[in-house]
Amino acid sequence: MAAPGNRAVVLGSATTTGRHRSGNPRLVRAPTAPNGGAPLVGAFLCSSKNIGSHGEIGQAWGKNEPAHEERRGNEGITSGCARAEEDKEGSRRVTALASWVAGSLASQAPRLLEMLGQFNLDSEAMSTCKMATVEATSVPDRLSSLPPEIKGNILSRLNIVEAVRTCTLSSTWRDAWTDMPKISLRDGKFTRTKFVTLVDMVLSLHKGTIEQFDISGSESYHDEFARWMLMLSSRSPRSIIIELKSRPRYRIPSCIFSISHLKSLHLENCTISLPRVFQGFKSLTDLSLKFFSSTNMDIQNLISFCPVLTNLILNYFEGINRLNIQAPELEYLNVVGDFEDIDLDAPNLKAAILFHYHKSKAYQSIPIAHDKESHVKKSLGSLSEIKTLGISSSFMKYLSKACILTKLPIMFTRLEDIYLTICFWDQRQVLTVCSLFQNAPNLKKLLMWSYPGSTCDQDQASIQELTLQMQMNHLITVSVNDFRGVDHEVHFVAKLLSWAPALEEVRIEWKGEMDRSMVITKLLALPRVSPRAKIIVT
């Protein structure tokens, strides 16, 4: 099919028409007549733009086509000419071209049928050829005749500027972009004024259902933001992504919280304050908040009023010191922030990343108001069904500040992968990790990042007592990154080798200033209970 804006007449060949990669019209060749005669009818391809401005008509005469191309001709002959719509002069010339082609067909019909006889066409195909009219008819543009929703879906694969430009192709494409289900707006190639105009135009003229609205930019759009969000909320989008970088943070207006059918909400660099009357997002499954500010109560209510929430990301927040996450359907949790306490109730959680950091360089121990066992339960109690767990060093400190229990109050029977950052200098962190290992009997993969402490704890008695009967029967691979070769790290690797009878590989990424060869000698000399265990230092 010819590209939009091109007009083609194809006779006696199944060869398609279109444009070359260079963008120029491609000329389709027709087979020559029997006995080396002149071609029956040429194949013509021209764009209305070229006709209108230059009045040029491309024409090519071809040679005999391969046999398989001839057999493709059994489907019959397609002839046609469509009006050029870009200018009146182009339309007149295309009409003249169509008349000329029709006359050529009429004069050459006998030779055409004689040539077709050489192709061994069946009776049905021959009958079709004989009944073909020689007057020019319009070739239907199948792409332009598609339903509006399908056109909009096609245009969603383009950026918004390219999609809007399709309105110049023809009248059938004039409003196609207004049915695009996915809208993505980026200000990278625009001045601020032009981007504001573009967003206003898209939001005011779009008339279809918006499945996803995505806007990002580095300029300041604080004066326009509330207006954009009001127009957007009236379209009832299913997914919203807002990543506007300029400061101060953008305050999310109350109209966004009234979109009842919202399924996905991603906000960045924003301030969240729930309206007094918040009915909740009954269909929301995906909530991602990054670099935002809010309050303990607003975030707690926002999460709890999303009954089918399955994915939750809370990264780099201000104004929140106690997280209370009540989400019965939650499966994935990613928390990165400076908080004092966390209460997690998510019985269906499958994967969790808990990264607790402090803005101040020195870690401040926070008093625990409730009993120690309750502290651990509230932090880890809902993680009993997870398969993957990631814990930062600060969150490890947060856990270890309560107490070290030889047996945690919960079991992680499905936990297979653990990723953690740990200071092997800190005995409390090491004991906390060992307690975690004891309660994860099916652990298979362990990935750790080591970081140095300000002081070294030389007392290993508590660790020896706790880990005397430790077993990690299913552990297969261990990786230790940023390994410096100090005794605390080597001792911990030795423990793992003595606990894991199924261990196959311990991979160590070296980052030390000590004598590497001496440390490697120590590692290779460590006894191991698994005959397949090997140590790799990179």
Given this model, what pLDDT does residue 467 score? 58
Distance CA 161, CA 172 (A): 18
In this structure, what token pair is assigned to residue 267? Answer: 């906000």
Task: Give DSSP secondary structure letters for 113-149.
Answer: HHHHHTTT--HHHHHHHHH---S--PPP-TTTTS-HH
Q: Is the pLDDT of residue 227 over 80?
A: yes
What tens digit of pLDDT does each residue of 14-43 get? 333 344 444 444 433 434 444 444 433 333
Distance CA 531, CA 444 (A): 17
Terminal alpha carbon distance of the chain? 57
Distance CA 104, CA 81 (A): 14
Banded pLDDT at 449 (limits 50, 70, 90): very high
What tens digit of pLDDT does each residue of 139-182 get? 456 666 677 667 666 666 666 666 666 655 556 565 666 777 88
What tens digit of pLDDT does each residue of 387-422 get? 999 988 778 877 776 545 555 667 889 999 999 999
Which has the minimum average pLDDT: 78-87, 127-136, 196-205?
Answer: 78-87
Distance CA 429, CA 462 (A): 12
Domain boundaries, given as residue ranges, for the chain:
6-131
Banded pLDDT at 222 (limits 50, 70, 90): very high
Is the preceding omega at residue 248 within 30 degrees of 0, hence cis? yes
User: Across all residues in the chain, what is the average pLDDT?
Assistant: 73
Q: How many CB atoms lie within 10 A of CB 477?
A: 15
Largest alpha-carbon pair distance within the chain? Answer: 106
Q: Is the pLDDT of residue 209 over 50?
A: yes
In this structure, what token pair is assigned to residue 482? Answer: 């940023």
Distance CA 255, CA 203 (A): 15
What tens digit of pLDDT does each residue of 457-480 get? 544 545 565 556 688 999 999 999
Q: Is the pLDDT of residue 492 over 50?
A: yes
| Nearest alpha-carbon partner for 41 in 93, 98, 108, 95 | 108
Q: What is the mean pLDDT of residues 35-62?
A: 35
* Cα dihedral 91→96→102→108 (10° resolution): -140
Compute and round to an integer the Cα radius of gyration of the chain.
Answer: 35
Distance CA 349, CA 35 (A): 78
Banded pLDDT at 201 (limits 50, 70, 90): confident
Q: Is the pLDDT of residue 5 over 90?
A: no
Q: Where are the alpha helices (DSSP H) in 255-351?
A: 296-304
